[in-house]
Amino acid sequence: MIKLSQDFLKALQDKKPTDEYKKVLAEIDVNDLAEQLDTDPKRFAFWINIYNAYIMDVLKDAPEKYGDRGEFFKSKQLMIAGKAVSFDDLEHGIIRSSTVKLSWGYIPNLFASMWERKLNTDQKDYRIHFALNCGAKSCPPVAIYDDKTINEDLEKISKQYLDNKSKYLESENKVITTPLMSWFRGDFGGKSGTKEILKKFEITPSTDVELAFDDYDWTLYLFNFTEI
């Protein structure tokens, strides 16, 4: 299934038909899918690829759907393992290990469906926010992930994205960075965790800095692929 997710993305990159991949995804039994995705590295690689692929696949044909982003993300317009699901279901239910969307990343969803529980990740990983592309210009670029290198690749894409979206103002000892780290602050360990991450990726010299967040450009911007 990892290869299918990679081939789905490659087909989009090469402007080739994608129906065969969507058919397999729609018809696979949920238990078979869960059995094949039996580790978090497999789950992260597969679901990040699938999320990014479906964003492009849907919006390339119907860009007008992005006009109402709230409705776009919550609409159950994807058929996966016999169930109609939304982009919110994929991101917050599966990839973020059943976390309530509008909770800053602090509240688990205790009422997740059995379908979701069979497929979701065991643990959350803040780095997925630097890998998921929701179609906006400020989103991270799309890479094609593999379970064997997912940890190293998430490190690389995180460094790449934070370097691109952060600015340290030495004279003010202030860092301006992506609002993703505010919207999902719980995933990043709150303000202190965010500062630790920025120091880890050498955006700031220390954690003793003022933290600010930039604007987010929601302009539709598809097929923003990158190599890592």
Q: Is 137 helix (H, G, I), strand (E, B) or coil?
A: coil
Tell me, yes or no, whether 79 lies in a domain.
yes
Q: What is the tens place of the pLDDT at every residue in 121-156?
A: 999 999 999 999 999 999 999 999 999 999 999 999
Number of folded domains that form the chain: 1
Tell me, yes or no, whether 166 lies in a domain.
no
Q: Residue 44: what pLDDT?
A: 99
Tell me, yes or no, whether 112 lies in a domain.
yes
Tell me, yes or no, whether 128 lies in a domain.
yes
Q: Residue 191: what pLDDT?
A: 97
Q: Residue 87: what pLDDT?
A: 98
Look up the domain containing 80 and give its range. Answer: 2-136
Tell me, yes or no, whether 177 lies in a domain.
no
Q: What is the tens place of the pLDDT at every residue in 160-215?
A: 999 999 999 999 999 999 999 999 999 999 999 999 999 999 999 999 999 999 99
Fill in the amino acid letter for 206: S
> Using an 8 Å Cβ cutoff, are 184 and 105 in contact?
yes
Q: Residue 186: what pLDDT?
A: 97
Q: What is the tens place of the pLDDT at every residue in 11-52?
A: 999 999 999 999 999 999 999 999 999 999 999 999 999 999
Q: What is the tens place of the pLDDT at every residue in 67-93?
A: 999 999 999 999 999 999 999 999 999
Strand segments (E) across 23-148 = 78-80, 83-85
Q: Residue 161: what pLDDT?
A: 99
Tell me, yes or no, whether 78 lies in a domain.
yes
> Using an 8 Å Cβ cutoff, are 132 and 48 in contact?
yes
Radius of gyration over every alpha carbon of the chain, rounded to an integer in angstroms: 17
Tell me, yes or no, whether 196 lies in a domain.
no
Place of tokens 């920025």: 198
The closest alpha carbon to 58, from 128, 115, 50, belongs to 50
Per-residue confidence band for 228, with pLDDT thresholds at 50, 70 and 90: confident
Burial of 26 (0-12, 13-18, 19+ CB in 10 A): middle
Tell me, yes or no, whether 8 lies in a domain.
yes
